[in-house]
Chains A and B, each alone.
Chain A
Amino acid sequence: MRGRRYDFQRWANSSYQIDNRFFLERLKNPCSATRNIIQERLFPMTRNLTHLERLEAESIHIMREVVAEAEKPVMLYSVGKDSAVMLHLARKAFFPSPPPFPLLHVDTTWKFQEMYKLRDRMAQESGMELLVYQNPEAKERGINPFDHGPLHTDMWKTEGLKQALDLYGFDAAFGGARRDEEKSRAKERIFSFRTATHGWDPKNQRPELWNLYNAKKAKGESIRIFPISNWTELDIWQYIHLNDIPIVPLYFSAKRPTVERDGLLLMVDDERFPLQEGEVPVDRSIRFRTLGCYPLTGAVESEARTLPEVIQEMLLTTTSERQGRVIDKDGGDASMEKKKQEGYF
């Protein structure tokens, strides 16, 4: 045993030309000490990729497959932190070209003002076309979150999205959903098929082997693609931190005018906010863990003003991310699954 080990050491320090195949055979099952010597000697380039490097490579690979195989792709852009990461990955995937597809914002007209500002800035910086779609029927009927409850989400978001995809004839749409967000999303494939009426059939998903994605589809069918499926909330934050990706300032704590209603802390973002009797906006130090329509998104009281502080708060908290959003609550356990079957992203 001793003699053998000595041979390896001597070989490692020598300058003889060695037939690599001999050692490659031995690499298959050696003790780890000799293995390391062989590895360093023969393959000085090797290194363990970090989990973020692996996730990034996977997302970029997915985006390139879609661009190579789909006829008319589009990226759904909601201006949130997940969209920010997805957009950054797209820019990396196609650099030095700008990403070869437009951004689509399915607007409800009720987003925070700071979201609209960042949206326009990012579209310009990335050199991508920005399409903004507002469901004309919802606009005409004045659908709003204060008076219309679930109908607001249904008409502006679900119907709006379907209309926009049909109008432009997009056959592939990138979305920033993650599998750690919600139970039915944890079950969804990276390439998720939709019928001509945008329905999802969770019981009949295509097998998805290795990193081979089947993008074939019949006329009228479309695919939703989730390139950041395998990222967690912490991964998203850490990636934003490491890459200095611009995000909406609402994620950081500041004094903002708020009212407390139905257990949620709501921000009075513009003059359309109808104050109820006795309600007076109070300035509180708040921030948002997730962003949507401002009347539907609950803030948390916080002093986290930097990304590490935000991450720290996120990790120490005891409630899940979407809890501040009303959207998942109506309809019980399977509400997201039901929404997806109806065509919601």
Chain B
Amino acid sequence: MDPIYKTDALIAEDIDAYLEQHQHKSLLRFITCGSVDDGKSTLIGRLLYDSKMIFEDQLDALQADSKRVGTQGQEIDFALLVDGLAAEREQGITIDVAYRFFATEKRKFIVADCPGHEQYTRNMFTGASTADLAVILIDARKGVLVQTRRHSYLCNLIGIKNIVLAVNKMDLIDYDQARYDAIVADYAAFAAEIGIKSFTPMPISGFKGDNITANSANTPWYTGKPLIEHLETVEIDNTTDQMKPFRLPVQWVNRPNLDFRGFSGLISGGSVKPGDAIRVLPGGKTSTITKIVTLEGELDVAVAGQSVTVCFADEVDCSRGNVIATADNPPEVSDQFEATIVWMDDDALHVGRSYWLKLGTQTVSVTIQQPKYTINVNTMDHLAAKTLELNAIGVAELSTDKPIVFEAYADSRTLGGFILIDKITNRTVGAGMLHFSLRRAQNVHWQPTDINREDHSALKNQKPRVLWFTGLSGSGKSTIANEVEKQLHLMNRHTFLLDGDNVRHGLNRDLGFTEADRIENIRRVGEVAKLMADAGLIVLTAFISPFRAERDMVRKMLPEGEFIEIFVDTPLEVAEARDVKGLYKKARSGQLKNFTGIDSPYEAPENPEIRVNTVEMTPAEAAEHIIRKLLPLK
């Protein structure tokens, strides 16, 4: 049990020399992953212990804990060192990623210990996204399991090039070489299938310490390096990004006074020096770098991986979300993509719903199409899917509400990797990797027409509007909208009323009442209303439209001030008592599923332009109230 990694002798002899040496060490970030109980935490505990990163007081506490709750009898249970949360210690499992730190004479290491349980896959993905290398553990008694495959697939998907296959618990199979060879062969077949080009297998025991810091006498047939030596020497080229074209996603504009305007960000690719010609995307304006500013003085050159502030020679428009790139080799701009998406939320993906997409420093609205397929990581089969459930991995097309600057994930993690955020719960619901821009976004251009929307509305002598009536079934939307249209018609206004039930007879007759179909229903109505508004009409729509996110989506399609949200405010009891169409009765008796207010939610508007209370007002009064609010109509 004596630590093999002694404290560096230089520390005691010549601290200045030690600091000089330590200062220039490189950094390797790696993860450990694999199935439940494959001994990941034990292995990390062992690495920390062997590199003297565990102090006496921690060791005392560990010895006491091991006897109390440990799973290794009277011996030290290293897993207790890293399982930091109370729930983890109680259940003896790893729930979330733990980051641990250690250094040897050659390198510094940050290791992320990733959970094995499938339900915590998102936490594993969190750890993997910043890693240079993955140690995939296999219990020698069990061989390649579902989680081994899943994690290998995820590691490869997220772009980890260095993979170590650590066949652990060799002590429990008497260091049987035949068994080890069989496992490695088994894994090699799978790895080839999913596109892992190479991996480094090694037989170890985290618990006993075999082949961790030195080659073990128990495995004389193993001729490779022990784990630590491999981690110390494996070639990680963190200069790869520096050899790519210059990219600087702008985080923040630095403007302390009128004489200084700098653009701050982390360089994601290439290098930059004063005098370089640059281009600001997505706009495309060009300028020249004048200086690179830091607290310690100006820099002659800055490279990928550094956080900097740069200044331009010209007053070029540039703000957060823009990307500063080398002028002659800028990244692409597009608004439609194909991507691989990993879903991480308990609520499945809503096809067609608007989410936030954050890529680099750009945050935009995005809608995702029905997945082309999901991937079964055990068989690598492509399965048809309507949505993405928790932990699903699928390929889908997505479109953003405005063009973003991007590169394929294979070329740039920064400009190709994104997260998806739910607009209501604010949770990070997914992560994705862009493959390529869909040709149609580039090749389908908006055809300019000579008669534009201003001409249409001028001829009709009115300002186009979309009067969006929302409220529960039976609240009186259609009745009031009908009344408003009648009065507008009398005032010589050009109008059109889109009614929920009517639209479902034609345009939307392929849609049902599931959440996904309701979203698509509203999206189509929104697009139709927008075309009619472009034609200069005052459009009235009467749809329950229960979700805030979709109403906001339509609002964003239209110019500022043209979307008028009218909340027909009727309490559920009143609407149910009216029950004009007898639907509440059916819903209550269970004949009708997904009925708003009964078994499907209604999200009332927070700040509607107009609110009408149908308990206090008659439909005619409500209509008059609305018209008055709309004036003037020009």
A residues within 8 Å of B by Cβ?
Answer: 24, 27, 32, 39, 42-43, 45-54, 56-57, 60-61, 64-65, 67-68, 91-98, 179-180, 182-187, 189, 202-203, 205-212, 214, 216-218, 229-230, 232, 234, 238, 241-242, 308-309, 311-312, 315-320, 323, 333-334, 337-338
Contact = CB atoms under 8 A, between A and B. Distances in A.
Interface string B288-299: 000001110000
Contacts of B96: 187, 202-203, 205
A47 B302 CA distance: 10
B406 interface: no
B152 interface: no
Contacts of B26: 48, 50-51
Contact of B307 (A64, A206, A238): A64
Interface of B: 7-8, 11-12, 15-16, 18-19, 22-27, 55-58, 61, 65, 81-87, 89, 95-101, 103, 108, 110, 122-123, 125-126, 129-130, 235, 238-239, 242-243, 251-252, 254-256, 260, 262, 264-266, 271, 273, 293-295, 301, 303, 305-307, 309, 320, 344, 356, 358-361, 413-414, 417-419, 421, 426-428, 431
Complex A-B, nearest 7 residue pairs according to Cβ-Cβ distance, in ascending order: A183-B84, A60-B307, A51-B27, A45-B271, A334-B86, A216-B426, A97-B256
Given A52-B23, A318-B56, A210 B86 contact: no
A203 B306 contact: no
Given A97-B256, A180-B101, A50 B122 contact: no
Contacts of A312: 11-12, 15, 18
Given A45-B242, A207-B122, A214-B426, A333 B89 contact: yes
A205 B97 CA distance: 10
Given A207-B122, A209-B419, A93 B264 contact: yes
Contact of A337 (B8, B85, B262, B309): B85
B264 A179 contact: no
A308 B417 contact: no
B209 to A, nearest CB: 21
Contact of A206 (B293, B305, B427): B427
Nearest to B424: A218
A189 B129 CA distance: 13
A61 B22 contact: no
23 contacts: A46-B242, A49-B305, A50-B27, A61-B265, A93-B264, A95-B309, A96-B256, A96-B262, A97-B256, A183-B83, A183-B98, A184-B84, A203-B85, A206-B428, A208-B129, A210-B413, A212-B418, A238-B19, A241-B19, A308-B15, A315-B11, A316-B12, A317-B55
A93 B309 CA distance: 8
Contacts of B101: 179-180, 230, 232
A54 B428 contact: no
Nearest to B109: A51
B301 A51 contact: no
B97 A187 contact: yes
B238 A49 contact: yes
A191 B129 CA distance: 16
A233 B550 CA distance: 49
A187 B413 contact: no
Contacts of A218: 426
Contact of B239 (A48, A179, A337): A48
A316 B7 contact: yes
Given A95-B295, A333-B65, A319 B264 contact: no
A234 B22 contact: yes
Given A179-B99, A308-B16, A32 B235 contact: yes
A227 B255 CA distance: 23
Contacts of A61: 251, 265-266, 307
A49 B304 CA distance: 9
A207 B252 contact: no
Given A45-B273, A67-B252, A311-B19, 9 more contacts: A57-B266, A61-B265, A64-B264, A208-B428, A230-B101, A315-B11, A316-B11, A320-B55, A323-B57
Nearest to A208: B126
Contacts of B428: 206-209, 214
A303 B320 CA distance: 50
A211 B249 CA distance: 12
A50 B426 CA distance: 36
Nearest to A27: B243
A319 B421 contact: no
B122 A53 contact: no
Contact of B84 (A42, A49, A98, A186): A186
A325 to B, nearest CB: 12
Given A179-B99, A180-B101, A48 B419 contact: no
Nearest to A100: B252
Nearest to B65: A333
B414 A210 contact: yes
A7 B12 CA distance: 50
B417 A210 contact: yes
B239 A24 contact: no
B254 A96 contact: yes
Q: Pick the most buried of B82, B255, B256, B273: most chain A CB atoms within 10 A of its CB.
A: B256
